[in-house]
Structure 1
Amino acid sequence: MPINTHLRRRSIAFISATFAMLFFTLAMASTTEPLPSWQDGKSKQAIIDFVSRVTNKDSVDFVAVNERIVTFDNDGTLWAEQPIYAQLLFAIERIHSLASQHPEWQTKPPFSLILKGDVKAAFSSSASAVNDIVMAANTGMSDLEYQTIVAAWIATAKHPVTQKPITSMVYQPMLELLEYFRANEFKTYIVSGGGIEFIRAWSSQVYGIPPEQVIGSVMAQELATEADKTIIKRLPTMAFYNNKENKVIAINNHIGRRPLAAFGNSDGDLPMLKYVSEGDGLRLAMLIHHTDANREWAYDAKSQIGQLDKGLQQAQSQGWLIVDMKQDWKRIYPSQ
């Protein structure tokens, strides 16, 4: 057999095998079950049905790509918020690191109590205690300096109960949900009561959500000059607290479109879910209900953090779905 003919046949065989493997890979991808950490049931099916209907060009519910917006609360919706919000944990640790620059804190509550390790007493020492701690920890520097500080903290921070990295306390089913929406050409936004710059420092790394798609509470700021360069200085006062009704205002100001879907876990998210569900066309609103005391925490109406009381009632009248973490999620965290 001529060498050229032999090589040609080998090349054809190789190309055929390559295409066969490619088609096999595509076939496997197309049949891969979406949301694998979700139990088969009402919640998972509702998500899949919603996405299928709004992305199908032949559906009466079809929505153009530029209008596919979905919003997520952060604490308690995308990652654990018990027994303390991550930003408060950051603030506490920051007070310790700044203590040498503030000798007056040794005798001045709530800082003196934080430094003694009595966080509960510190938070209840006065009506302004939490605000004083948050302001001292999160202001007084430029925005770039702050992002660097937060990024360094998030890289090593541990959860106070599990001692796992804070970044591993994210909910695996919600990570899959974020990816599922993005795979179907949705823009995924965080709409949180947490500080906007605090979340922006790590949202790309943890959630794949870029900083321009993070909406949060905003500190007052001013332009200043340092070393002949213009900086943005963070001032010790809140300019906008992004919670409850303010979430709707912020969505309108930042996005300029009413989202098609929204996910939250507390009464603070109710205005956002209501705003989304009242829009024209097919909508999806879901509440994450913390019901798993063994794998996470079980809490709702009586909780000081992530309180869900009115929402459990309102979901029924509004037709929202409630995700039961114990029943609907096969696992909670990526490591489980």
Structure 2
Amino acid sequence: MTTKIGPAIVDRRTVVAGMLAAGLTVAGHATARAQADPLPSWNEGAAKAAILDFIRRTTAPGGPDFVPVSERIATFDNDGTLWTEQPFYFQLAFALDRVKALAPTHPEWKTEQPFSAVISGDMKALMASGEPGLIEIMEITHAGMTTDEFAQTVIDWTRTARHPRFNRPYTDLVFKPMLELLSHLRQNGFKTFVVSGGGIEFMRPWMEQVYGIPPEQVVGSSGITQYKLQPDGTPVLVKEAKVEFVDDGPGKPVGINRFIGRKPIFAFGNSDGDQQMLEWTASGTGPRFMGLVHHTDAEREYAYDRASPVGKLDKALDEATKKGWTVADMKRDWKEIFPS
């Protein structure tokens, strides 16, 4: 699959139905629920107000902007929108770790680029290999195993790998404000999807636990798999080193149409790679919400936009300004970045 390259928790729901059924609710509970802030990690401001207003309007029965539950589709980019994407995309970090893990069985890699650069930690030489070298790494480290074996490898990696700056598991580096938003949308009848340029088989193993999004609601780039029978007759799907579909840029509307079948009414991204998804969402009739996460907090996370080779936000930012899309400024709009 093609991966964007650059330089170097769980969903919480408040269960109240049982209390209501048992007659334990007192008069003040309904008021307390109504007054509770569904987005406590968001600062008060235009971005938070726009989100809450949109959800309120589209779920108010009898209101002019009411949207039936079946049409409440919300799509989210992953890298840079739901979790950190610096200093480079986390799936690349996984692939580089896989090269090191497989190196003992490939002695030829000690002298072959781009693998020797990975083994020696020479990031300058690795980046000099360009996109062809990085694609080769992705293909070698993602192919030749069954889908079940690959999923387990991904899970094992998320349990042991640590981010180079924060020294935390990569799945800890999800954005708390966005977790709250996902939860609030679902509590209001929205079906939430991830639509990402990342590999679908890399994302599916952990997303349900981390985001509350099941595998069937994850849309991503994919490689070809082949159905085979093992010697004992057990059927398996084996991953091949061939790209089938790239779910990035203009590929995102294609992926939404192919795998979801409904145009979103709510979409959130963070880069130019999400621009077409937001445009596709905006092209529908009725109420629409288009949002961007703007990374502006170098102290708590990272600050980057137009010049960044990772998560470049340039044309999409201009379009958001021109068309009045919501831009969530990380430094201004978020009280907290990561879950404690």
Question: Corresponding residue for 1:242?
Answer: 247
What is the alpha-carbon distance in structure 1 between the residues aligned to residue 130 and residue 59 of structure 2? 52
Residue by residue over 1:298-330, the C-alpha shift from the partner in whole angstroms, topping out at 9 and shown as x without a partner, is: 000000100001111111222211111111111
Question: Corresponding residue for 2:285?
Answer: 280
Question: Corresponding residue for 1:47?
Answer: 51
What is the alpha-carbon distance in structure 2 between the residues aligned to residue 41 and residue 131 of structure 1? 42
Q: Which amino acid in the other structure matches residue 249 of structure 1?
A: V
Aligned residues: 318
Question: Corresponding residue for 1:38?
Answer: 42
Deviation of 1:119 (Å): 2.5
Q: Which amino acid in the other structure matches residue 215 of structure 1?
A: V
State yes or no: 1:189 paired with 2:202. Answer: no
Q: Which amino acid in the other structure matches residue 95 of structure 1?
A: V
Structure-2 change in CA distance of 1:98 and 1:309 (3 Å): same
1:94 aligns with one of 98, 110, 119: 98
State yes or no: 1:158 paired with 2:162. Answer: yes
Structure-2 change in CA distance of 1:310 and 1:28 (3 Å): same
Deviation of 1:100 (Å): 1.3
Deviation of 1:123 (Å): 2.7
Deviation of 1:236 (Å): 0.6
Q: Which amino acid in the other structure matches residue 160 of structure 2?
A: T
DSSP-derived class of the 1:202 partner: helix
Deviation of 1:93 (Å): 0.5
Residue by residue over 1:147-185, the C-alpha shift from the partner in whole angstroms, topping out at 9 and shown as x without a partner, is: 111111112221111101211101000000000000001
What is the alpha-carbon distance in structure 2 between the residues aligned to residue 22 and residue 163 of structure 1? 45
Residue by residue over 1:237-275, the C-alpha shift from the partner in whole angstroms, topping out at 9 and shown as x without a partner, is: 111111000000000000110000100000000000000
Residue by residue over 1:208-233, the C-alpha shift from the partner in whole angstroms, topping out at 9 and shown as x without a partner, is: 00000000000111111213122111
Question: Corresponding residue for 1:232?
Answer: 237
State yes or no: 1:212 paired with 2:236. Answer: no
Q: Aligned residues: percent identity? A: 47
DSSP-derived class of the 2:192 partner: strand
Structure-2 change in CA distance of 1:103 and 1:184 (3 Å): same
1:290-305 alignment runs, 5 A limit: 290-305=295-310
What is the alpha-carbon distance in structure 1 between the residues aligned to residue 147 and residue 177 of structure 2? 32
Deviation of 1:112 (Å): 0.6
DSSP-derived class of the 1:291 partner: coil
DSSP-derived class of the 1:238 partner: strand
Question: Corresponding residue for 1:253?
Answer: 258
What is the alpha-carbon distance in structure 2 between the residues aligned to residue 257 and residue 20 of structure 1? 40
Question: Corresponding residue for 1:57?
Answer: 61
Residue by residue over 1:261-301, the C-alpha shift from the partner in whole angstroms, topping out at 9 and shown as x without a partner, is: 10000000000000001110000000110011111100000
Q: Which amino acid in the other structure matches residue 98 of structure 2?
A: R
Residue by residue over 1:109-157, the C-alpha shift from the partner in whole angstroms, topping out at 9 and shown as x without a partner, is: 0001100011232132244111011111111101111111111111222
Residue by residue over 1:5-35, the C-alpha shift from the partner in whole angstroms, topping out at 9 and shown as x without a partner, is: xxxxxxxxxxxxx956544444322321120
Question: Corresponding residue for 2:329?
Answer: 324
Structure-2 change in CA distance of 1:178 and 1:162 (3 Å): same
State yes or no: 1:110 paired with 2:114. Answer: yes
Q: Which amino acid in the other structure matches residue 158 of structure 2?
A: I
1:136 aligns with one of 125, 140, 159: 140
Higher relative contact order (CA 8 A, sep 6+): 2
**RMSD between aligned alpha carbons?**
1.3
DSSP-derived class of the 1:39 partner: coil
Residue by residue over 1:54-78, the C-alpha shift from the partner in whole angstroms, topping out at 9 and shown as x without a partner, is: 1011211111101100000000000
Question: Corresponding residue for 1:28?
Answer: 32
DSSP-derived class of the 1:199 partner: helix
What is the alpha-carbon distance in structure 2 between the residues aligned to residue 309 and residue 285 of structure 1? 16
2:77 aligns with one of 70, 73, 94: 73
**Mean alpha-carbon deviation: is it higher for 310-319 or for 35-44?**
310-319
Question: Corresponding residue for 2:182?
Answer: 178
Structure with bigger gyration radius? 1
Q: Which amino acid in the other structure matches residue 224 of structure 1?
A: K
What is the alpha-carbon distance in structure 2 between the residues aligned to residue 57 and residue 21 of structure 1? 24
